[in-house]
Chains A and B, each alone.
Chain A
């Protein structure tokens, strides 16, 4: 019997997409010793490799890159930093003790013992069963990302006449891509009254291609025994239920689903620890550490991003956090719990170190509950707005970022007055509430209210 090979390292990173690449490189740059980056695919870069459209890196690199180009930038950075990589390698198991069991063709099963583990597995696409579309079960129903892989990586078309359900970014990008490849995209349907994708994608991928977008519409039936022959679509009411009498049929051979991403958290669940019921990802600190000490997470595993630039930023934080843990320089002391207040669906990270708030800028990512114009994005502690910024427009599709400058929340300010009584540990923990409120409107009371 072959003994399982055991490898020791400072930092092990699971997943070599944009999150894993940046986290691994940054951990190494910040002084971590051996850093091992693993991915189940045969190349580094994750899903970026099939995203051959441009628009990546505008914020972070001040360039408009394609997905593979954006990946290449960070692949080079990781390699230059001295990150070791294991490709075609599947992680089967991660334990609380930061022991990883992985497998590949050449090494077989191996065990990796790390001082810090960074989970960067990304997300998977919600499938037909997840949104429950009635009808037949023919071939020709694809998630948008699977279709993207076929077209951009394998060189095959999923079909010739296409209906896209969901106005998520991948679906919009694929509507354009398939049109360019000679397919006819009959329609894009969105069940919500507003688009799920970035505005620039609505404009460039649909409007510029002459593809109709039907808001408040969904697919209520799929036809065809062997291959898709058409779909029935209908308008939905305010409760997202199809309105009888509004149905019509669209002939097509393909239905693409772009109906949301689900954080890939099977390994995170195995490790244990607290999950955020809204994001579906782990609860993390401003070091991107999960509630299991030494296990970090970043990117779509934590919450679904729209811009890769933000994924990279978050991953840098995780890499720095992991390096600090390895060096024994983690912040200690008191923490503040963040909470989504008015107009905010969720906020991440969920736990902030008071020491970090005092000593550095702390970035909060949040999703608006609904589209709004001329709003204040505010951070409230103990009923008092500690920091705010103006946004001309917010949309659920576009991440809102609030960077709290260092020192805005001083240790003295975070007293037990701002405590949340329902904290899991039973003890009171100070709370920082983020909210999105119309400008010129005083709603200071909300932030001070107890849950």
Chain B
């Protein structure tokens, strides 16, 4: 393979919400920035599988990175999400005490939060809790009200960050795992991915659960990432009204506990439990883990109906050992390699602040920051049919009939939205990529209806053979190949015959043109 050589001021490794956030922050300046991601899309790691909360910031010990960046990140959210067209709801949040003993702990949390600079914390009595959250356990004694708590969409944010970064000149390399980092005189000289070498002045390590593996490539071993798995239930929108804001139990030493929260899309989410796992690929849910989640969730909201579950999933928190805190800063002894590692909760909330912190560390390390006059901080929110009024919907269809063709019936997603998602600045080629951008397949039937149709649209728009279309990149193929009977294939592939790709298929199609139209008793 011909080796491509790129030159950069900064290479950022990892395109989760942290890496994309840093990329977008650096895009403000006159820099050559390359963002590399091992997976087929941005946001495909921990970013796509977490509780999607914007934390107020009372949990972390004062003085830690977590405490500082949580509160700062929380304050940045309205502006960042406003500029980037990302869903964010400032719902406030509640820590629910179910006994007097737990209630006493609320005051500790409040003091800690105040030390961290969290505004507006208040311990509220039972009656007020039940008045605003009628679904909460009737045993509630009191709750800590945090008015700055909220919810967001982590993948929307990462995708928006990446799109805005790319629009402002950042180069994004997907499906590009880092296979080596070359050193010269104690400094990083270049980053190697399959088929490409990037000479660079600085590297930022935002590799999530693989951040320790990346750091070892520069000869350092300052921390270990021990993945801690969290399992989740997602519930149908039909029961979305049960809870209006994130509900937390009184936290334990190691975790904030199992949360019940609304999502920005109108579903309910419950989770996570916490289990150390040895394997960074272990995203399996377990019967025991899911039972633990339901038990925990029902302590907060006893009426939570399991039968309204639409999916379960697991995410891995990137817990850095021994730090316990975020690991943010230069790798000791390597003057141009910055870690943004160990970003467990409240990492999503902190992401905008982590971007600022990393920018400042890079500047201190000698990176010259000259603001670009033409930086555009705005990324328009992609239009969603389901979010529009009837008049707006009508106008769109008049301009482009694909707006009148509903592909995902559960979430009312049109063909126009899917086609648009496939041609945005950050390319998207997978079923999951389409789902995260448009919500096609994210509803109650989980793609049972629209899956085949989305495969067909990807095939038509991108010229990818249907059997090469994947769920999430790599070898996650949806289909194994054509079935034996070519007549059937003709019947539905005729619409896409003009897109290139499978010449041998075209010949088959032509042969059965006459009979194909009758294959299914079409009218």
- Residue A246, interface by CB 8 Å: no
Q: Which residues of the partner chain B approach A135 to less than 8 Å between Cβ atoms?
A: 284-285
- What 1/0 mask marks residues of chain B from 491 to 508 whose CB sits below 8 Å from any chain A CB? 111000000000000000
CB distance from B208 to the nearest CB of A (A): 16
- The residue in chain B whose Cβ has the minimal distance to the Cβ of A181 is B483
Known A127-B448, A220-B287, A221-B284; contact A106-B401, beta-carbon cutoff 8 A: yes
Segment from B54-62, B112-120, B251-259, B403-411 that makes contact with A:
B403-411
Q: Are A68 and B283 in contact (CB under 8 A)?
A: no
Known: A129-B310, A146-B452, A149-B452. 9 other contacts (CB 8 A): A105-B402, A127-B310, A132-B312, A134-B285, A134-B289, A136-B284, A146-B447, A146-B451, A154-B489
Q: Are B522 and A132 in contact (CB under 8 A)?
A: no
- What 1/0 mask marks residues of chain B from 437 to 467 whose CB sits below 8 Å from any chain A CB? 0000000111111011001100000000011
- Residue A309, interface by CB 8 Å: no
Q: Are B488 and A227 in contact (CB under 8 A)?
A: no
Which size class do A's interface residues fall under?
35 or more
- Residue B63, interface by CB 8 Å: no
- The residue in chain B whose Cβ has the minimal distance to the Cβ of A220 is B287
- Residue B470, interface by CB 8 Å: yes
Q: Which residues of the partner chain B approach A2 to less than 8 Å between Cβ atoms?
A: 394-395, 398
Cβ-neighbour of B471 out of A109, A139, A145, A221 (below 8 A): A139
- Residue B278, interface by CB 8 Å: no
Q: Which residues of the partner chain A approach B87 to less than 8 Å between Cβ atoms?
A: none
8 A Cβ contacts from A388-417 to B: none
Q: Are A154 and B472 in contact (CB under 8 A)?
A: no
CB distance from A248 to the nearest CB of B (A): 16
Q: Are A103 and B483 in contact (CB under 8 A)?
A: no
Q: Which residues of the partner chain A approach B310 to less than 8 Å between Cβ atoms?
A: 127, 129-130
A101 to B485, CA, bound (A): 39
Cβ-neighbour of A124 out of B312, B448, B473, B480 (below 8 A): B448
- The residue in chain A whose Cβ has the minimal distance to the Cβ of B238 is A269
Q: Which residues of the partner chain B approach A68 to less than 8 Å between Cβ atoms?
A: 520-521
Q: Which residues of the partner chain B approach A88 to less than 8 Å between Cβ atoms?
A: 405
8 A Cβ contacts from A106-145 to B: 106-109, 124-125, 127-130, 132, 134-140, 142-143, 145
CB distance from B384 to the nearest CB of A (A): 14
The 8 closest A-B pairs by CB, nearest first: A155-B489, A129-B311, A68-B521, A139-B471, A105-B401, A90-B406, A226-B476, A108-B397
Q: Are A1 and B493 in contact (CB under 8 A)?
A: no
Known A49-B521, A109-B393; contact A181-B448, beta-carbon cutoff 8 A: no
Q: Are B234 and A129 in contact (CB under 8 A)?
A: yes
8 A Cβ contacts from A175-192 to B: 181-182
- The residue in chain B whose Cβ has the minimal distance to the Cβ of A151 is B483
- Residue B137, interface by CB 8 Å: no
Q: Are A153 and B397 in contact (CB under 8 A)?
A: no
Q: Which residues of the partner chain B approach A253 to less than 8 Å between Cβ atoms?
A: 480
Q: Are B309 and A108 in contact (CB under 8 A)?
A: no
CB distance from A404 to the nearest CB of B (A): 33
Cβ-neighbour of A137 out of B283, B455, B467 (below 8 A): B283
A217 to B290, CA, bound (A): 20
Q: Are B394 and A160 in contact (CB under 8 A)?
A: no
A135 to B522, CA, bound (A): 40
- Residue B322, interface by CB 8 Å: no
Cβ-neighbour of B397 out of A101, A109, A128 (below 8 A): A109
- What 1/0 mask marks residues of chain B from 294 to 325 whose CB sits below 8 Å from any chain A CB? 00000000000011011111000000000000
- Residue B484, interface by CB 8 Å: yes
- Residue A274, interface by CB 8 Å: no
Cβ-neighbour of A103 out of B393, B395, B452 (below 8 A): B393
Q: Are A158 and B286 in contact (CB under 8 A)?
A: no
Q: Are B312 and A49 in contact (CB under 8 A)?
A: no
CB distance from A181 to the nearest CB of B (A): 5
A105 to B485, CA, bound (A): 31
Q: Are B481 and A155 in contact (CB under 8 A)?
A: no
Q: Which residues of the partner chain B approach A128 to less than 8 Å between Cβ atoms?
A: 311, 446
Q: Which residues of the partner chain A approach B444 to less than 8 Å between Cβ atoms?
A: 124
Q: Are B448 and A44 in contact (CB under 8 A)?
A: no
Q: Are A124 and B395 in contact (CB under 8 A)?
A: no
- The residue in chain B whose Cβ has the minimal distance to the Cβ of A107 is B404
Known A68-B520, A132-B312; contact A156-B409, beta-carbon cutoff 8 A: no
- The residue in chain B whose Cβ has the minimal distance to the Cβ of A108 is B397
CB distance from A315 to the nearest CB of B (A): 18
- Residue A157, interface by CB 8 Å: yes
Q: Are A103 and B479 in contact (CB under 8 A)?
A: no
Q: Which residues of the partner chain B approach A156 to less than 8 Å between Cβ atoms?
A: 466-467, 479-483, 489
B residues whose Cβ falls under 8 Å from a Cβ of A: 234, 238, 281, 283-287, 289-290, 306-307, 309-313, 390-391, 393-395, 397-398, 401-402, 404-406, 409, 412, 431, 444-449, 451-452, 455-456, 466-467, 470-486, 488-493, 520-523
CB distance from B291 to the nearest CB of A (A): 10
Q: Are A127 and B445 in contact (CB under 8 A)?
A: yes
Cβ-neighbour of B491 out of A72, A129, A153, A242 (below 8 A): A153
- Residue A43, interface by CB 8 Å: yes
- Residue A4, interface by CB 8 Å: yes
CB distance from A168 to the nearest CB of B (A): 14
A4 to B448, CA, bound (A): 31
- Residue A69, interface by CB 8 Å: yes
Known A1-B394, A101-B390, A134-B285; contact A157-B481, beta-carbon cutoff 8 A: yes
Q: Which residues of the partner chain A approach B451 to less than 8 Å between Cβ atoms?
A: 146
Q: Are B520 and A43 in contact (CB under 8 A)?
A: yes
Cβ-neighbour of B309 out of A104, A132, A149 (below 8 A): A132
- Residue A373, interface by CB 8 Å: no
A88 to B238, CA, bound (A): 26
Q: Are A157 and B482 in contact (CB under 8 A)?
A: yes
Q: Which residues of the partner chain A approach B490 to less than 8 Å between Cβ atoms?
A: 155
Q: Which residues of the partner chain A approach B446 to less than 8 Å between Cβ atoms?
A: 127-129
A160 to B479, CA, bound (A): 9
CB-defined A-B contacts under 8 Å, sample of 26: A1-B394, A1-B395, A52-B520, A75-B521, A79-B523, A90-B412, A103-B406, A108-B394, A108-B404, A109-B394, A125-B448, A137-B283, A137-B313, A139-B431, A146-B449, A146-B452, A150-B479, A153-B488, A153-B520, A154-B488, A154-B489, A155-B483, A181-B484, A221-B284, A226-B471, A226-B473
A181 to B489, CA, bound (A): 14
Q: Which residues of the partner chain B approach A171 to less than 8 Å between Cβ atoms?
A: none
CB distance from A158 to the nearest CB of B (A): 6
CB distance from B485 to the nearest CB of A (A): 7
- Residue A449, interface by CB 8 Å: no
CB distance from A268 to the nearest CB of B (A): 12
Q: Are A104 and B404 in contact (CB under 8 A)?
A: yes
Q: Which residues of the partner chain B approach A124 to less than 8 Å between Cβ atoms?
A: 444-445, 448-449
- Residue A225, interface by CB 8 Å: yes
Known A88-B405, A92-B412, A182-B484; contact A154-B466, beta-carbon cutoff 8 A: yes
- Residue A18, interface by CB 8 Å: no
Q: Which residues of the partner chain B approach A49 to less than 8 Å between Cβ atoms?
A: 520-521
CB distance from A279 to the nearest CB of B (A): 14
Q: Are A159 and B480 in contact (CB under 8 A)?
A: yes
Q: Are B483 and A157 in contact (CB under 8 A)?
A: yes
Q: Are B521 and A45 in contact (CB under 8 A)?
A: yes
Q: Are B520 and A154 in contact (CB under 8 A)?
A: no
Known A134-B312, A153-B488; contact A108-B283, beta-carbon cutoff 8 A: no
Q: Which residues of the partner chain B approach A155 to less than 8 Å between Cβ atoms?
A: 482-483, 485-486, 488-493
- The residue in chain B whose Cβ has the minimal distance to the Cβ of A155 is B489
Q: Are B311 and A226 in contact (CB under 8 A)?
A: no
Q: Are A90 and B390 in contact (CB under 8 A)?
A: no
Q: Are A1 and B521 in contact (CB under 8 A)?
A: no
- The residue in chain B whose Cβ has the minimal distance to the Cβ of A50 is B520
Residue with the highest number of chain A CB atoms closer than 10 Å, among B311, B446, B451, B520: B520
Known A137-B313, A226-B472; contact A40-B284, beta-carbon cutoff 8 A: no
A129 to B312, CA, bound (A): 6
Q: Which residues of the partner chain B approach A291 to less than 8 Å between Cβ atoms?
A: none
CB distance from A22 to the nearest CB of B (A): 16
Cβ-neighbour of B521 out of A72, A154, A157 (below 8 A): A72
